[in-house]
Structure 1
Amino acid sequence: MKLVLKNTVGYVDERIQITKKEVPCLDSSWHYHAQYELLYVSKGSGIRFVGDSVSQFSPGDLVLVGPYLPHLWRNDPSYYQASGEKDVMAMVLKFTPHFIGEGTFELPEFSEVARLLEESKYGVCFGQGISERLHDELVGIAELPPPIKSIRLLDILARLSMTADKTVLSSTDMRQYTTENSQRIDTVLKFISDNYASYIGLQDVADVACMTTNSFCRFFKRMTNKSFTQFLNEVRIRNASRLLVQEDYSVSEVCYMVGYNSITNFNRQFKQIMGKTPNSYRQDL
């Protein structure tokens, strides 16, 4: 995998490009592009990376990603097992800033939409309430004639701009305008997401990046805005939270399944990242 700038010929001249995805691993790599992207997951679960945000996703996940903001949705490992077939369905809407006309969002009546698009440079996740209300519009937009697609997308953005049920994802502006070091960080992210359940030491991941440990620490912090240990803990805990909700494993079983060998450390990290203990998290859902 590598962090890539997506700009294929088929996208360049289209103001709106809509894709229905029905295969595991929604993205092939941690990537960014010049368009805005509104991604709606109707079926499927896993982990998403948006800027420096690491979180789980499940059916109903609706996220707006701004131009040049690196992102990646990866399905759970069970989706790739030959023995089990799990449904995946996501709508990916990519659009340019001028999909409805030059200067539209500079007009006063579109100020709320303009504010939402500005927020998207950090990534914006919308709540289940607004996601459910927009389900039919999001799933059906691909079948509409081109003029109606533009009108429907504008309506969706207008409704999203008026909801308070949303969360900004990345804590800092992580937009990328160069592919420098992209191959290296993408290899590292894939290694972490594929091996988080096993022991991963700093030397292990530095070797994957072909760097010394000191150089790797500086590099990883610069590219993700997080230390390697912090990032690894977030990936493990987000996967643990999914297992606690979706499966019947005990807390201690989940602890070892996501790569921890100490229940005390697991509980501490879980509370620090999720705001409550594993048992409380499970009971509150």
Structure 2
Amino acid sequence: MDTIYLSENYSNSLPCALAAGNFDGVHKGHKEVIKTLLETAEKYGLTPAIINFEPNPYEYFKQIKNNYRITHLSEKQKLFSKEGIKKLFIAKFDKNFSNISANEFLKKIISEKLNAKKLITGEDFVFGKNREGNSEYIKNNKFDFDYQQVELLHSQQKKKYSSTEIRELINKGEIKKANDMLGHEFFIIEKVISGNKNGRKLGFPTANLNIQKYIKPPYGVYRTETEVDGKTYNSISNFGVKPTINNNSEELLETHILNFSENIYGKIIAVKFYDFIRKEIKFNSLDELKKQITLDIKPLTYE
């Protein structure tokens, strides 16, 4: 998949079928849009492409820096590529972009710059200055592309698949429910940073990640899998502040990878969340902490 950052002079030469949206999480509702996109592209011999906005418009207007995103660009690239998308267009969402009218966005960017012959969106997609554009706006005006709206899917609990709902589930530690709505595991891609090596001293070395820019799960221990250099390993992760060791620690995701002993400082790894195990606890001693970690890991050694 090619990732293209839109510039003033960029022009897409090959006609495409294009899906537009934020796609935070790339959840089951988004995947229905992508499915329609791929079917349309194949039927009409077009390149399947997506236009995405960085930063997320909500982040831009609310000046949000942390604890919001389910997926950042690196995760979206991985998921889009897996689904079969061939081109990902990134539009920088800033003051100038936010002042583009709905009509200009559709004519100048979607039609002329990106050469879209088919446009697909979810029913809740809005765009243009003051959010003046939506699916009805596209249907009621004539443009040089065909338009298709995809209705939002609903879960068995009669809730629509939405990024907002998934953020709330992750915030509450309901990882299994969040993963069900996503259609894949909630995962984080980040660089391993150096820590105080307290885990190594306890006999459980960890890969430490700063995950401030992601939606935060509650402090606690999680069953995870970790991907390093294309290989996947069972792991267990603690997100929190290490209260037994230091009351003033910064928030970190510390992941102990089972049957793994390589030095991976500075490497980019992916941590997939499967389930919440327990809350983060302040133990009376390091020995108590060590015993609890052993108990936390024990079920994983039989998988």
Could you tell me the TM-score, scaled by structure 1's length? Answer: 0.28
Q: Which structure has the highest strand share of the two?
A: 2
Q: Which structure has the highest helix share of the two?
A: 1
Could you tell me the TM-score, scaled by structure 2's length? Answer: 0.27
Larger of the two Rg values belongs to structure: 2
